[in-house]
């Protein structure tokens, strides 16, 4: 049994939603936690390492002795100065090179639920290619294919909250497509277990919650009876807005993921983790809105 207190773990994207919550848990559990970020943010505990692109020479000396590398850098929307190839694929390659250079044996990565070799859209293609880099790296890996991760300040409920504040919640198309949200506290506990538990080794695992719901019922549960106008717009209009960035709340690939009806199999996760997964209703109580 590994002595957890002596574990040293590097986390990239540590200022992001999952990275913040994971770093908080690891620090609270007494692990030596190296948070790799582009910019120092005000409230941070644990050791911070500044890196623009995982290329800096100082990184290898700081990462010496690490047992695991949790790679959470990722984007779900491209811009003219930040592409899926550069961020989702190339920074994953650099993460792998770093692991090899400093002999970190374990890498953990969050991909997307629904990613597969036959996919045709950009975000999933980049996640698939990043997965392949990891699988072929020879490192011990755990790849989680995540559905929507819900908690305070998660990207999905933050967008819905912003719409609520503006007085209109938008439903794209019928709203009858499905999601399988998972609570952030459960996610970081699972990642924590995957650091040392060999049951997670060399696996791709669906990171999904215990319930499948439609977007419409998710919105209704999110609102908890609060009154706000709900506007249904056609997919044609939704994609027109997203493509032309007329409504920056939701991008083209956000829509692709939302309406894609991506549902996972929770059995593997339930079997190998020791987590009692919360329902999305309980998770929503901690969301941005509550
Ligand atoms: N949240 C979900 O529901 C969900 C679902 C499926 C998959 N995932 C995946 O899980 C991972 C973590 O998600 P998250 O929700 O924590 O995302 P997030 O809040 O957007 O965080 C992403 C992190 O990536 C960093 N980053 C982006 N572009 C970068 C670049 N060019 N160079 C260096 N760092 C860069 C950001 O740094 P800054 O803080 O400096 O901007 C941020 O800390 C991502 O790979 C995401 O695709 C998340």
The pLDDT tens digits for 161-187 are 999 999 999 999 999 999 999 999 999
Is there a single domain that holds both residue 214 and residue 234? yes
Closest residue by Cα to atom 20, ligand 1, is 16
pLDDT band at 283 (very low <50, low <70, confident <90, very high): confident
Q: Quick one: which atom of ligand 1 is closest to the CA of 111? A: 7
Is there a single domain that holds both residue 63 and residue 86? yes
The domain in which residue 163 lies consists of 148-182+209-262+274-290
Hey, what long-range contacts does 154-160 have (CB within 8 A, 24 or more apart)?
Answer: 154/17, 154/184, 154/287, 154/288, 155/17, 155/76, 156/181, 157/222, 157/284, 157/287, 157/288, 157/289, 158/288, 159/249, 159/250, 160/219, 160/222, 160/289
Is there a single domain that holds both residue 40 and residue 101? yes
pTM, two decimal places: 0.96
Which residues on neighbouring strands pair with residue 136, listed in sequence order?
Answer: none
pLDDT band at 290 (very low <50, low <70, confident <90, very high): low
In a domain, 193, yes or no: no
pLDDT band at 42 (very low <50, low <70, confident <90, very high): low
CA atoms of 38 and 283, how far apart (whole Å):
29
**CATH code for position 27:** 3.40.50.720
Is there a single domain that holds both residue 20 and residue 96? yes
Closest residue by Cα to atom 31, ligand 1, is 87
pLDDT in tens, 47-80: 999 999 999 999 999 999 999 999 999 999 998 9
pLDDT in tens, 105-157: 999 999 999 999 999 999 999 999 999 999 999 999 999 999 999 999 899 99
For residue 16, give the H/E element and its range. none
Rg of the chain over CA atoms, in angstroms? 19
Q: State the sign of the Cα–Cα–Cα–Cα dihedral 33, 38, 182, 283.
A: positive
In a domain, 78, yes or no: yes
Establish how many alpha carbons lie within 13 A of residue 247's alpha carbon, considering only the half-sphere containing its beta carbon.
21
In a domain, 100, yes or no: yes
pLDDT in tens, 201-253: 999 999 999 999 999 999 999 998 889 999 999 999 999 999 887 666 789 99
In a domain, 189, yes or no: no
Is there a single domain that holds both residue 128 and residue 178? no
pLDDT in tens, 1-34: 456 668 999 999 999 999 999 999 999 999 999 9
Instruction: Name residues whose C-beta falls within 8 Å of residue 261's C-beta, 6 or more positions apart in sequence.
Output: 177, 178
C-alpha 49 – ligand 1 centre gap (Å): 17
pLDDT given at position 98: 97
As for ligand 1, residues whose beta carbon falls within 6 Å of it are 13, 15-19, 38-39, 72-76, 82, 87, 110, 112, 146, 148-149, 154-155
Is there a single domain that holds both residue 79 and residue 125? yes
CA nearest 51: which of 66, 35, 28? 35
Is there a single domain that holds both residue 168 and residue 89? no
CA atoms of 38 and 55, how far apart (whole Å):
12
């Amino acid at each position: 049994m590994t002595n957890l207190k002596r574990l040293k773990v590097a986390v990239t994207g540590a200022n992001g939603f999952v990275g913040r919550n994971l770093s908080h848990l690891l620090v609270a559990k007494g692990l030596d936690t190296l948070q790799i970020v582009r910019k120092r943010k005000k409230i941070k505990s644990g050791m911070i390492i500044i890196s623009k692109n995982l290329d800096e020479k100082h990184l290898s000396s700081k990462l010496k002795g690490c047992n695991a590398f949790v790679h959470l850098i990722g984007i779900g929307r491209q811009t003219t100065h930040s592409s899926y190839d550069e961020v989702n694929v190339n920074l994953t390659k650099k993460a792998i090179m770093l692991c090899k250079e400093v002999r970190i044996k374990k890498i953990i990565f969050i991909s997307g639920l629904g990613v597969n070799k036959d996919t045709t859209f950009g975000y999933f293609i980049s996640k698939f290619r990043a997965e392949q880099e990891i699988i072929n790296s020879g490192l011990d890996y755990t790849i989680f294919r995540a559905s929507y991760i819900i908690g305070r300040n998660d990207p999905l409920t933050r967008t819905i909250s912003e719409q609520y504040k503006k007085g209109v919640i938008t439903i794209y198309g019928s709203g009858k497509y499905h999601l399988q949200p998972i609570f952030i506290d459960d996610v970081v506990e699972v990642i924590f277990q995957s650091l040392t538990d060999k049951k997670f080794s060399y696996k791709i695992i669906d990171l999904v919650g215990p319930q499948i719901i439609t977007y419409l019922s998710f919105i209704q549960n999110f609102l908890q009876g609060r009154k706000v106008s709900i506007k249904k717009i056609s997919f044609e209009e939704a994609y027109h807005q997203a493509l032309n960035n007329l409504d920056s709340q939701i991008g083209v690939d956000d829509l692709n993921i939302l309406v894609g009806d991506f549902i996972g199999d929770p059995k593997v996760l339930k079997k190998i983790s020791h987590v009692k997964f919360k329902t999305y209703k309980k998770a929503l109580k901690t969301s941005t809105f509550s």
